[in-house]
Chains A and B, each alone.
Chain A
Amino acid sequence: MKGLSQYTIRKRIAMALLMILLLAIPLFLSGKPYLMNVFILIFYTSTMSMAWNLLGGMTGQNSLGHAAYMGLGAYVASLFVTKAGMNPWLAMVLSVVIVGGIAGVVFYPCFLLKGPYFTLVTIAFGETIRQFVINWDFAGKATGISLPFGAQSFAEFRFMSKVPYYYIGLAMIVGVYILMKIISRSKFGFALRTIREDEDVAAAIGIKPMRYKVYALIVSAMIAAMVGSFYAYYNRYIDPDLMLQTYSVEFVLPAIVGGAAFVEGPLVGGAILITLSEFLRNEFGAILPGINLILYAVVLLVVIRFRPVGLLGWYSQSKAKAFVDTKILKKTDADKEA
């Protein structure tokens, strides 16, 4: 096969095997809801982390308010379902559109701010939304919203078993991963990386920094809203705590631990962190609350101290690979030989 190196072939086979494994897991674990829950948790946390990574890792805009977009998504979808009796799937789509719109319009001026100022304004923005929801009668104030329980129905996004949620979560993570892969190799992705490295350079070669940063945020917020709707349907209950800044941080950690420069970073980080943290919570959570978060913090500190480019940086042979799609380099080498 011309143009495909050994490396690429091996990578593809590994991917295919992983996919088959993930598809087959419910066959073995459907009787163990706890473990199924861990997988679903990994799916939506990693998806959120990928959403953050588009803005944070790829564009270099460190947001610490992404839980707000997820929360907002959950709220919009839940309100449509409970107050308007809308079909949950339609509500999810509407929620994605609305949150994307809110992010693009309301947050637009905040992109004038750079570096630490930007990060702070994202925190304040997240808190503002949370405080707003806490004070909003229609959305149940601090009590939150419960979604109706009832008979199992695909149309109603309501299932007795965790298996359907598992497959929907899997579809979500795979879909977002493919989207990120496409973005990373597209014109859009290159614009974002150029902005991350230097906005003046971006402007000098015809990239409008504001515009692309806002695009990145809109895509990111839309994914967050999708995850939020999924979260609401899965848990059947949401409250304003969903938007706490703590959660925003928890969505960032997988990307940083896995390697924010990689599309796969959030996936690797998410799988490792959540597996470990759920294990600890299960074993010691009753006697030592918070032990899983201590682990989060320790892993994060160790990675930043000793592997500044994240765990995936371990595998990249050259430093260059840490920041780009490996395929690009392989291709360039192939071109040279040709």
Chain B
Amino acid sequence: MEIFLQACVNGLLIGGFYSLMGMGQNIIFGVMKIINFCHGEMLMIGMYLTFVFNTFFGIDPYLSIPLVALCMFGLGALIQHTLITPSLGTKSFTNLLFLTVGLGILFQNLALVIFSPNYRTITTSYSSITVHLGPVTMALPKLISFIALIIITIALFWFLKYTSTGKKIRAVSQNPIGAEVVGINSKRIYIITYGLGCALAGVAGALLTLFYMVYPMVGSSFGFKALIVVVVGGFGSIQGAFCAGIFLGLLETLSSLIVGPTYRDLTVFVTFIVILVVRQIIILRRR
């Protein structure tokens, strides 16, 4: 029972990361109808930034979050402005797909060149403190990250729901032409959206750094899991992404508990394919 509870808590935590990544991905898809295949790499960059800030400037990983978010927003905005916006005009799904795939390869290998393939970790004075929550033990950094995840998620919901920029983002994802008609500058919204998506992934990275290794390929698995989250939760649905993220996290930890860790990914992928196909069959039937 304790193992099970422990697994649930771990699942919730990892699920929180998938949710945060998935929500960023989902905002981007909602607004521009593209899949950001370098989303995992954004998380990786966020992790390396946190690592650099900590190692070279001695900034605490949690205090560096705003800094990471800002840098990532800038990077995202730059990518959107120079690469994605011009390519949106060609309306070629293939090209947009491989544009982000190309960015992913670029970032992965830049990290490889700059930081070498070595695994990096950072430690702080509080890294090894553990907290007891009833029968469950949890490392302090994990607990802090978990609380931070909840706060950021709530802030994101609030931002999209009540701020003027958030409302504009929702307007563009619902009806781009309509939004343009009422005077929303969609190019600006694209930049903000992509920047925001990257910032969310970067922040997820920063929150992950204290208890996860940093290496150039760290993002690819997270990136794909974020995509699964988006698809299962429904493209364009932020709440759906949130729930699907938590579900995926639990599925992963519980399946490695039940069928064994080596079959964990197999379970996840097969579940994913089955969900996708079955849902599509239901949609087609209903027509």
Contacts and interface: CB of A to CB of B under 8 A. Distances in A.
Tell me if chains A and B make direct contact, with any CB pair below 8 A.
yes
Interface of A: 56-57, 60, 62, 64, 109-110, 112-113, 115-117, 119-121, 123-125, 127-128, 131-132, 134-135, 245-246, 249, 252-253, 256, 260, 288-291, 293-294, 296-298, 300-301, 304-305, 308
Interface string B250-287: 00000000000011011001101100110011001000
A187 B277 CA distance: 29
A116 B94 contact: no
A56 B94 contact: yes
A116 B97 CA distance: 9
Interface stretch (B11-19, B107-115, B139-147, B241-249): B107-115
Dominant secondary structure at the B interface = helix
Nearest to B235: A116
Contact of A124 (B101, B273, B284): B273
Please provide the 10 A-B residue pairs with the shortest distance between their CB atoms, ordered closest to farther: A290-B109, A297-B106, A290-B112, A300-B102, A297-B105, A131-B266, A293-B109, A128-B269, A112-B280, A294-B109
B98 A128 contact: no
B49 interface: no
A289 B215 CA distance: 14
Nearest to B284: A112
Interface of B: 29, 35, 83, 86-87, 90, 92-95, 97-99, 101-103, 105-106, 108-110, 112-113, 116-117, 216, 220, 224, 227-228, 231, 235, 262-263, 265-266, 269-270, 272-273, 276-277, 280-281, 284
B272 A301 contact: no
B87 A62 contact: no
Contacts of B97: 62, 116, 119
Nearest to A135: B262
A134 B262 contact: yes
A56 B67 CA distance: 41
A99 to B, nearest CB: 18
A112 B98 CA distance: 22
Nearest to A293: B109
A124 B266 CA distance: 9
B94 A260 contact: yes
A109 B90 contact: no
Given A121-B273, A125-B273, A308 B95 contact: yes
B203 to A, nearest CB: 24
B231 A256 contact: no
B105 to A, nearest CB: 4
A64 to B, nearest CB: 8
Contact of A116 (B35, B273, B281): B35
B101 A249 contact: yes
A291 B113 contact: yes
Contact of B105 (A62, A249, A288): A249
21 contacts: A62-B97, A110-B273, A112-B280, A113-B276, A119-B35, A120-B227, A120-B228, A120-B276, A121-B273, A127-B265, A128-B269, A249-B105, A252-B101, A290-B108, A291-B109, A293-B108, A297-B109, A300-B101, A300-B102, A300-B105, A305-B87
